[in-house]
Chain A
Amino acid sequence: MGYPHPIHPKETPVLSTHFGDAAARSYAGWVERGGYQALRKALAMTPTDVTEEVKASGLRGRGGAGFPCGLKWSFMPKNSGKPHYLVCNADESEPGTFKDREIMRWTPHALIEGCAIAAYAIGAERCYIYIRGEFTEPLRIMTIAIEEAYANGILGANVLGSGGTIDMIIHRGAGAYICGEETALMNSIEGKRGNPRIKPPFPAQAGVFGMPTTVNNVETLAAVPHIVARGAAWYKGLCLGSDKSTGTKLFSVCGQIQRPGNYEVTMGTPMRDLVVDMAGGARPGRTLKAVIPGGSSVPIMTVAEMEDCVCDYEGVMAKGSMLGSGGMIVMDDSADMVYQIWRLARFYAHESCAQCTQCREGTAWTTKILERILRGQGEHKDLQLLMDLSENMTGKTICVLSDSCAAPIVSGIQKFPEEFEAYISKRREPALSPA
């Protein structure tokens, strides 16, 4: 199928096979398409064997950090005597990223199946799915799917006759980007402000409600049933480059591009294939200028850097950026880099939880300085000031929101200095009216 575009020949659909196929949404439709066979298989294995299989597959966290999934599960204590929790992070809010939304929208039972297998593997009887408040459609679809799963013995006491219990609860967010950070998310579930927590303790030691917890992203969990059903070796074989980046990944390609959408490719696919062949490249009469490859929180890449970049964790890092969430924001020659960077800084300033001084002050002041430049009131020393502030915003706070604000600022000034200079030297008309 494919949605909103038919599957491109260079795609390898695994998670996205049923995107656009509304009949796959129901329990009956999902079972017809082979659904819940992987859960049956997992329940016949030991939890340790399930974890080992996922570890062997090389699956890494798809939320942005890329932490090995099976390894994360193995950090959960054995026989702790405490309740364990699985938390599914469906707070997708990273600008440029819209893949988890499509998984929940088209294949809600794939996520439920992945959550159930993960809960079994880590010894959790309860799973919270934290869905951002603005995702009204995924919330409706997931709610119905969970009701169906209970009605068909997939969830509740005695999961598929195994005697085990798995309860699944949707927790609706209420508008806060920072709740996508796992410790902020756990605070939000607990009924608190979404302030990130200092680590350690890590979630596996003391997570939500102080209990051992694993937090996984939607796309990570949705890949789990495929790994259990078809084996770690199959999944690991789905990669073209580094054996540290395995399987398929959904890339959300958006911005100034002909065919924005999600494209699922094997790790190691050239970035050019995604941006130009699949997403269609620049719009008529335009040329590409830049790509932010991993959601807005990573360094900007020039189109020249994109040309020979390979899309896996190592390949994007080799170009000085990060794979992140796989949300690719594409800009063409009509994009005003200074304006776009200001708009991103404003986003981070709005979303800072304001706990850490470097972030609270840094995101606000970098936004104001960028605004001043756009008003035609900037000075040459402002660029150095932005670099100094960014330095103080990097690696010094509880979470990485502050670092994320600095990444596009620093890379933007380094790679597109002439656009800043044009405003400062008044060769370019102010984009914003004077304050």
Chain B
Amino acid sequence: MNATSGAVPHGHETAPYEPVFVGPALSKLEALFAQYPTKQACLLPALWMVQEARGWVSEPAMAEVADVLGLTPAFVKGVVTFYTMYHLHPVGRHFIQVCTTSPCGLCGAEDVRDAILEATGCEELGRTSPDGRFTVIEVECLGACGFATPILIDDDFIESVTADRVPALLEGYE
């Protein structure tokens, strides 16, 4: 499930594309080439680098990655769209993933999800809050079922979240 853009403006389509892989980022990617027998194997790492730099993976970014790795843009798009963690649209400043798969669902994960939607003002899953602060999605099994309900806020993995803890948890994320 990929997030759709909400309040984030759509001006990105017309702005000239600034390449990601120049200077230190290009050197970092080239250093990865030695770790694999093919350049193509650097595709997932390269896409992670794009997302870290830009917050999402745009079509021009896919074309750039294709160029750097000697692939076609169509192939790169096929890979990007297969994996759920690459954003196909801009998301809020903080990206929240709530696990609601069965083991957590049995322990109240849906209440946690609803509390997060309410506290962030996102209203529905995949939508960005009007202030651009948060985007919230449901994620399938985060692999921490003994610590229901786990959530990810950006790269922060938070265990044992209950609905009443939600407002305090969000405080540090501006």
Report which A residues bind B (CB closer than 8 A): 4, 83, 92-98, 100-101, 132-137, 167, 169, 171-177, 188-194, 209, 252-256, 260-262, 296, 327, 329, 331, 335, 340, 343-344, 347, 350-351, 353
Contact = CB atoms under 8 A, between A and B. Distances in A.
B102 A176 contact: no
Contact of B145 (A191, A192, A255, A351): A255
B106 A255 contact: yes
B16 interface: no
Given A96-B103, A174-B86, A340-B105, A260 B140 contact: no
B3 to A, nearest CB: 12
14 contacts: A97-B145, A98-B144, A100-B143, A134-B143, A173-B44, A174-B86, A176-B82, A176-B83, A177-B141, A190-B38, A191-B40, A194-B83, A209-B36, A254-B103
Given A329-B103, A343-B102, A95 B145 contact: yes
A171 B85 contact: no
A190 B145 contact: no
Contact of A174 (B84, B139, B157): B84
Contact of B107 (A100, A174, A256): A256
A343 B101 contact: yes
A171 B44 contact: yes
Nearest to B32: A169
Contacts of B44: 171-174, 188, 191
Interface string B47-88: 110000000000000000000010100000011001111100
B112 interface: no
B156 interface: yes
Given A132-B143, A174-B47, A254-B146, 19 more contacts: A4-B146, A83-B37, A95-B102, A97-B143, A134-B142, A135-B143, A136-B157, A174-B48, A175-B83, A176-B84, A177-B141, A191-B79, A192-B43, A193-B82, A254-B145, A255-B107, A256-B106, A296-B101, A343-B102
A428 B86 CA distance: 41
A411 B106 CA distance: 19
B62 to A, nearest CB: 13
Contact of A260 (B40, B145, B157): B145
Contact of A98 (B69, B84, B97, B143): B143
Contacts of B47: 174
Nearest to A254: B145
Interface stretch (B17-25, B118-126, B147-155): B147-155
B91 interface: no
Contact of B102 (A92, A171, A329): A329
Contacts of A351: 140
A341 to B, nearest CB: 9
Among the interface residues A134, A190, A192, A253, which one has the most CB atoms of the partner chain B within 10 A?
A: A134
Interface of B: 1, 35-38, 40-45, 47-48, 69, 71, 78-79, 82-86, 97, 100-103, 105-107, 139-148, 152, 155-157
Nearest to B47: A174
B146 A260 contact: yes
A83 B69 CA distance: 23
Contacts, number: 146
A267 B37 CA distance: 40
Contact of A209 (B37, B142, B155): B37
A360 to B, nearest CB: 14
Nearest to B80: A174
Contacts of B41: 189-191, 209
Contacts of B139: 134, 175
A253 B82 CA distance: 31
Contacts of A171: 44-45
Contacts of A189: 36, 41
Contacts of A347: 101-102, 140-141
B102 A192 contact: no
Nearest to A210: B37
A353 B79 CA distance: 12
B131 to A, nearest CB: 25
Nearest to A133: B85
Contacts of A340: 102, 105-106
Nearest to B40: A191
A186 B148 CA distance: 30
Contacts of B69: 191
A391 B160 CA distance: 38
Nearest to A101: B143
Nearest to A348: B140
Nearest to B1: A350
Contacts of A132: 143
Contacts of A93: 140-141, 143
Given A189-B41, A192-B79, A253-B146, A95 B103 contact: yes
Contacts of B82: 176, 193-194, 353
B79 A94 contact: no
Nearest to B100: A343
B152 A98 contact: no
